[in-house]
């Protein structure tokens, strides 16, 4: 009885998370689809543009990498962003807005067309810039949070006034774990979790 | 209702299903894989690259182009993700898991490219 109840609750939780992911994914896929043609047309007007190069996917993936750096960076550095919002914007919107499959197939098509140099630049450049922009988004979020804290410090009489308004102080000091990621960086917590499950 | 409105709506719905499938895959794998390497994202991205390669060469008849857009741009576009890959690589590097960060970035691109080529090749032969 108790176990069934717990299972039902966890199923409801998963469905709730799924709904937020679906909503974000719907908007993200539409944003990518709608931006693709205008981006290609815009790129074609630039001097030195190569016909047939996937500028649309390049732009979309890099802006999405910066966006996720901002979002998860803000959360990890102490800004209270609810799990629902993280799922809708991170896993849903940015996850669906950016795409890896078109990146890979686009690069292989460049290679098949004999544009190996372009393909290599596309592969290495996208991946390096993606990680660099995720890092830049993280740093930007950190600077914004720090700036906000400084401002509030100047305008508030006491230190205590800072602690309010959905700001996770624990996160500000260290790292708030992001459960949406498919990685387990907190090994100790993972072990405890595994123990608890047994 | 214009056909382009319907096209946008259907790509959005397929993308939502792709994102939902990714979420469920991550949930399922994360319960079983408790190591720092982001295996779920890696499998999703490499598998999705293979499937997109397959669709690209298998569905080339004019009547199939709508389906190809729906599955390729919509579903697989929403299923695979570049933003999570970028952030997870950065997160690994930030926690001094430098080798895993390199493995994630290089491993995703190399395996994804191989998978895409395999899909493109297979699509030509099963068509």
Query: Could you report the per-residue pLDDT of B23-70, keeping only the tens digit for each?
Result: 999 999 988 999 999 999 999 999 999 999 999 999 999 999 999 999
Minimal Cβ distance to A104: which of B87, B90, B116: B116
pLDDT single digits (tens) A18-40: 999 999 999 999 999 999 999 99
Q: How many CA atoms lie within 13 A of A154 on its CB side?
A: 5
Question: In the structure, what pLDDT confidence band is assigned to residue A157 with cuts at 50, 70 and 90?
Answer: low
Question: In the structure, what pLDDT confidence band is assigned to residue A167 with cuts at 50, 70 and 90?
Answer: low
In the block, residue with structure tokens 């949930």 = B27
Minimal Cβ distance to A99: which of B77, B101, B119: B77
Q: How far is CA A198 from CA A2, A189, A195, in A?
A: 16, 14, 5
- Whether residue B124 lies within 8 A of chain A, CB to CB, comes out as no
Which two structure tokens, joined as six digits, stand for B46?
């490499």
- Indicate if the pLDDT at residue A160 is higher than 80: no
Whether the full predicted model's pTM is greater than 0.80, yes or no, is yes
pLDDT single digits (tens) B61-113: 999 999 999 999 999 999 999 999 999 999 999 999 999 999 999 999 999 99
Kindly report the three-state secondary structure assignment for every residue of A96-121. HHCCCHHHHHHHHHHHHCCCHHHHHH
Would the CA dihedral through B102, B104, B105, B111 be positive or negative?
A: positive
Q: What is the pLDDT of residue A142?
A: 95
Q: What is the pLDDT of residue A161?
A: 53
Nearest to B92 by CA among B112, B106, B78, B75: B106
- Indicate if the pLDDT at residue A162 is higher than 70: no
Minimal Cβ distance to B37: which of A97, A105, A183: A183
Q: What is the DSSP letter of A178?
A: -
**φ, ψ for residue A7, nearest 5 deg:** -65, -40
Q: Residue B19, Cβ neighbours under 10 Å: how many?
A: 33
Complex-level ipTM: 0.96
Interface test with A, best of B7, B23, B30, B83 (most A CBs within 10 A): B83
Average confidence score pLDDT of chain A: 86
Contact A68 B86 (CB under 8 A): yes
- Indicate if the pLDDT at residue A188 is higher than 50: no
Which two structure tokens, joined as six digits, stand for A37?
């043609």
């Amino acid at each position: 009885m108790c176990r069934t109840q717990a299972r039902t609750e966890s199923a409801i939780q998963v469905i709730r998370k799924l709904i937020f992911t679906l909503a974000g994914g719907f908007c993200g896929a539409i944003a990518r689809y709608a931006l693709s043609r205008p981006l290609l047309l815009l790129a074609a007007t630039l001097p030195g543009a190569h016909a047939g190069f996937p500028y649309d996917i390049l732009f979309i993936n890099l802006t999405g990498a910066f966006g996720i750096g901002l979002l998860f960076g803000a959360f990890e550095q102490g800004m209270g962003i609810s799990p629902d919002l993280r799922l809708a914007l991170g896993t849903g919107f940015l996850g669906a807005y950016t795409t890896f499959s078109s990146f890979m197939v686009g690069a292989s098509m460049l290679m098949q067309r004999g544009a190996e140099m372009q393909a290599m630049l596309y592969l290495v450049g996208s991946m390096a810039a993606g990680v660099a922009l995720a890092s830049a988004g993280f740093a930007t979020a950190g600077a914004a949070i720090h700036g906000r804290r400084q401002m509030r410090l100047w305008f508030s009489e006491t230190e205590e006034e800072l602690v309010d308004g959905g700001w996770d102080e624990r996160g500000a000091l260290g790292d708030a774990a992001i459960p949406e990621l498919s990685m387990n960086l907190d090994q100790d917590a993972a072990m405890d979790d595994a123990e608890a499950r047994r | 209702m214009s056909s382009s409105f319907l096209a946008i709506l259907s790509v959005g719905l397929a993308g939502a299903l792709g994102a939902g499938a990714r979420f469920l895959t991550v949930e399922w794998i994360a319960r079983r894989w408790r190591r720092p390497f982001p295996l779920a994202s890696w499998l999703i991205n490499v598998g999705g690259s293979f499937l997109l390669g397959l669709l690209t060469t298998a569905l080339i008849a004019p009547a199939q182009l709508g389906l190809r857009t729906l599955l390729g741009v919509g579903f697989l576009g929403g299923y695979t993700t570049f933003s999570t890959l970028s952030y997870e690589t950065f997160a690994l590097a930030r926690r001094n898991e430098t080798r895993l960060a390199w493995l994630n970035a290089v491993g995703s691109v190399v395996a994804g490219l191989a998978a895409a080529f395999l899909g493109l090749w297979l699509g030509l032969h099963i068509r």
